[in-house]
Structure 1
């Protein structure tokens, strides 16, 4: 196999993305801590974007603790692990998910993928360079936190969507992650979604508070500040818990519930903000 040029997360931020062909948008959906509903949001966002006419793939970039298959009630016979080890082709591993979008699932419990080795970087990059030209949107459902695997996955995206909840621990970890993205990757903008919001206006208030802290304490290498863009709130909704227990997409289980409508609105804002000029 020929060697593919690999950029570090820091270099990717300043030298541009790896040489993807086509107009596909790569967006990392990430979080500072686990348990905030990131994977569930990624899957339903993919369904909402698909309904808007976009060709979408969700790649489970949480290589060691993958659970996108659980959220979607899929039982894959072939995963990214099989592609990386040469046991299967990439086309064999891409599945059609409920909601009409495509998924590329990772195997769970793969200890060898919990560290960012040169081999993992190489394999991951080859997969990305193959799939990005085929889709309008590639959503990278990353792990939580600031491990080297998570940061590498995020570095491959032109847009970062941070999912947080109003809980203090989630916001503290979100701030820490945003700070690392600014310092190590030169990021100047992160989009924020507040999940499990309990009151109208929660997200805007939280975004404003985080922005104030960033303005006060964060100084990036090039002197530019970090801008947080509030993309919307997903309200706390019993239908979400019901859908999770049934292992169904919320947009399929209860398409008219408040949380599903909120995801649809966020998809529309993302379309207006980044997909219109990217895909036109």
Structure 2
């Protein structure tokens, strides 16, 4: 089945949460996971670099409001963060910084309890933020937290596409299934894109996608409480020692080891996103 998404109309459209997104000027992709520690933030940063190389204007927004770590992956030490924007201590332009790889980032602080749950204030702050940033970029990547908390689900509701990261480990796949089920039942999502990280063999990701799809077909969407949901396999990132080396050095893999297997895999995933969901209107 062809998963190519038709070009979006120029008019603004409302997301499931009500925020007006402008598909002709920006596409919002949420990168998430059921289980933590599967490489979600690593993919967000390196995918942004790969999309920037293709000539796109990219912003990565750290939507893990309570336990942010995008700054660690990128070796950045921001003086101003998303929380300063929300509190009015700085403007949006003052908080957006240039990252290695040529893209821009809006970082969040870590360990702030007031942002660990979805209060009406956090919701409204985030909605206003998205209305400002989406028109400025070709693509906005939301690096969400892991799991299905109310903050994570709200961030996902703002995205036109969800890119779910999982590893072949049973715990990761179980949590991935739970996340997909919630997206189908609560947000009526009909499509989720899957990236399998730390794949041991070529073809692992397609097999895992087929297995998850079979379980979803059996248990989700058949009773009318959820929309039938389709998984699209976007690619595998193989086990590669260069990944650990880049993470330990707090450097982008695509800059440190651009020819390694994992870098090439991220580049291929970026190409598929461009071909399927980021085509110009």
TM-score, normalised relative to structure 1 = 0.93
In the alignment, which residue of structure 1 is the partner of 2:262? Answer: 259
> Which 4+ runs in 1 deviate beyond 6 A?
none
Question: Which blocks of at least 5 consecutive residues in structure 1 are unaligned?
Answer: 1-10
1:27 to partner: Cα distance: 0.4
Alignment of 1:87-236 (within 5 A): 87-219=89-221, 221=224, 224-236=227-239
Cα offset, 1:225, TM superposition? 1.1
Structure 1 residue 102: Cα displacement: 0.3
> Structure 1 residues 66 and 140 mapped into 2: Cα distance closer, same or farther (>3 Å)?
same
Unaligned runs of 5+ in 2: 1-13
1:83 & 1:267 partners in 2: Cα distance? Answer: 30
Alignment counterpart, residue 26 of structure 1, candidates 25, 28, 34: 28
Matches of 2:56 and 2:25 in 1, distance apart? 12
User: Shift of residue 224 of structure 1?
Assistant: 3.7
**Contact preservation (8 Å) 2:188, 2:226:** no
Corresponding residue of 2:11 = none
2:49 to 43, 47, 50: 47
Give the superposition deviation at 1:12: 4.2
Q: Which residue pairs with 2:246 in the alignment? A: 243
RMSD: 1.3
1:33 and 1:141 map into 2 onto residues whose CA distance is: 14
Please name the residue that 1:62 is paired with: 64
2-side partners of 1:12 and 1:88: how far apart? 27
Change (3 A) 1:107 1:231: same
C-alpha contact 2:56 2:138 (8 A) present in aligned 1? yes
Q: Deviations over 1:29-82 (max 9, x none)?
A: 000010000000000000000000000000000000000000000000000110
Residue in 2 aligned with 1:3?
A: none
Q: Secondary structure at the match of 1:275?
A: coil
Specify whether residues 12 and 275 from structure 1 end up closer, same or farther in structure 2 by C-alpha distance, changes over 3 A only. Answer: closer
How many residues are matched?
A: 266
Q: Is the Cα–Cα contact under 8 Å of residues 61 and 106 in structure 1 kept in the other structure?
A: yes
Which structure has more helix as a fraction of its residues?
A: 1
Q: Provide the C-alpha distance between the structure 2 equivalents of 1:144 and 1:162, rounded to a whole number of angstroms.
A: 10
